[in-house]
Amino acid sequence: MRQRAEGSREAARLNNRGRSGQDAGMGNRSAAAELASEQRAFREAWPDYEATAALDDLRAREFARLDADGHVYLDYTGGGLYGDSQIRLHLDLLRSRVLGNPHSANPASMISTELVEAARRHVLSFFRASPDEYCVIFTANASHALKLVGESYPFAPHGRFLLTFDNHNSVNGIREFARARGAETRYIPVLPPDLRADPAALLAALDERDAAAPSLVAYPAQSNFSGVQHPLAWIGAAQERGWDVLLDAAAFVPTNRLDLSRARPDFVVLSFYKMFGHPTGAGALVARRAALEKLHRPWFAGGTISVASVGADRYVPAPGASAFEDGTLDYGNLPAVDIGLQFVEAAGLDLIHRRVRALAGWLIEQLLSLRHGTRRPLVTLYGPATLEARGATLAFNFHDASGRFIDHQSIEARAGDRRISLRSGCFCNPGAGELALGLSPQTMSNCFAQSPERMTYADFRRCVDSGSSGAVRISLGIASNVADAHAFVTFAREFLL
Ligand SMILES: Cc1ncc(COP(=O)(O)O)c(C=O)c1O
């Protein structure tokens, strides 16, 4: 509490001191002195940050390209960054080992198999998942993992697909599989301003399951729109009521510990590039073995069968994970998953968590304290304004002095001019966007009706007119530091009138 109160006072002090850097008090102070003073103030208000100083050394050692390039990277929820040594180690491995297609038993093949299996074991141990209970299916990304579940889940009439409004489109898309097989899709809204789901509404929906039909509930451990972290306790509550649980952990795991010995979802999806930048093109479905048994793949492919016959028109699926890994695994890149996990472990996931929390807390206070001369706020934040059950992903819009939206795409473009990488739009999370921005189902239906052929994003932007069709998002990760956060607040102050 003390920390927050001091942070708020400091935010107000900075805000009063200078709009657009034009106030007299700022005039003769150099930018460097200004930065140093703000960083001191930040460290006093957020003493927890000091304990994460090892990550400053890590940034200097492993992420020097950020500062060499003058880059302020604020899109970790879009994609994580890799450290130099990850690439070095991966390159060394590729240059020194003879890797062959793992579908054989020759020596080159065996080396690939060994490396891929080491990565698989490491994924399980990283998430504290028992190999007796869970297995790892390597996929191209989280979306691919979600498609595997969607296309194979035994949806049927009277069955349900239940999900929160703030799911990524790759989870929303599963409703098309549910619909095709006669199961009902039901959404639980997330409520502004915090964009959390009402637990009572969720429990009531969970209680309504038809015991005879398989039913799946899906939600993000952390929303990639609002940063909300939904309770992992929902997993057990749903399972007790007979539901299978799909946890989208893609936005959560880069900066939070997921312990599968405590929460035991049936299916967990993630993308490794969001955790440690390299390799791109690799993700996983971490599935309970028992839950995997319920899935039926709609086809077979090389690698997914024990035996198949053309003459007899029969096939027998391979056991466990193999039945879900189509064709040849990305055996050149998967060893880099092992390297990436080692990298995060050496950096310390808990340290990363503490750092991004402190920075997110400071950013929230700073941004919410910014006011135009008219006293109108510059920023509307979508999602919790405190650190309670939220991650370091912040979505918001900027407003002009009379309260009108400043176009989110123009903010992204102006940030780009300052070498600040952030994201704008709805981040493939239309449900959270619609509820945050007050776009009713009727408004959305009208927009679709106005462009019956094929609505483009430009059509949609025109349709919502004076409202906003999206937001700005900044997100923090392993290499984030106070200078990045400060650079963004300085950028935001440019919009004050
Ligand atoms: C919460 C969440 N789920 C799923 C995805 C999809 O990940 P990918 O694009 O790597 O398949 C994302 C990507 O941003 C995400 O943030």
Select from 212, 207, 158 the least CA-distant residue to 181. 158
Best residue for ligand 1 mutational test, from 174, 274, 285 (most atoms within 8 Å of Cβ): 274
Is the distance from the beta carbon of residue 141 to the nearest atom of ligand 1 less than 6 Å?
Answer: yes
Cα(174) to centroid of ligand 1, in Å? 14
**Phi and psi for 464 in degrees, rounded to 5?**
-80, -10
Query: What are 235's two structure tokens?
Result: 């997993």
- b/e sequence 241-256, b meaning 16+ C-beta within 10 Å: bebbbbbbbbbbbbbb
CA distance 464 to 161: 29
C-alpha of residue 341 to centroid of ligand 1, in Å: 19
Annotated active-site positions, please?
Answer: 428
| pLDDT attached to residue 465 | 67
CA of 255 to the centre of ligand 1 (A): 15
Tell me how far apart the alpha carbons of residues 297 and 285 are, in angstroms, rounded to a whole number.
14
**pLDDT of 2:** 38
Judge whether 116 and 137 are in contact, CB under 8 Å: no
Does 143 contact ligand 1 (Cβ within 6 A)? yes
For ligand 1, pick from 139, 268, 428 the residue to mutate: most ligand atoms within 8 Å of CB.
428
- Give the pLDDT confidence score for residue 243 in this predicted structure: 98
C-alpha pair distances (Å), 130 with each of 121, 136, 261, 319, 391: 10, 11, 7, 18, 26
Is residue 261 a contact partner of residue 129, using CB atoms and an 8 Å limit?
yes
Q: Does the Cβ of 55 fall within 6 Å of ligand 1?
A: no
Identity (one letter) of the amino acid at 110? M
Chunked mean pLDDT (size 10), the chain, 497 residues? 45 46 51 82 89 97 97 98 98 98 95 98 98 98 98 98 97 98 97 96 96 97 98 98 98 98 97 98 97 96 95 94 96 98 98 98 97 97 97 98 95 98 94 90 87 81 79 98 96 97
With contact defined as beta carbons under 8 Å apart, do 411 and 472 qualify? yes
Both tokens assigned to 20: 């657009």
Question: pLDDT tens digits for 433-450?
Answer: 999 998 888 888 888 888
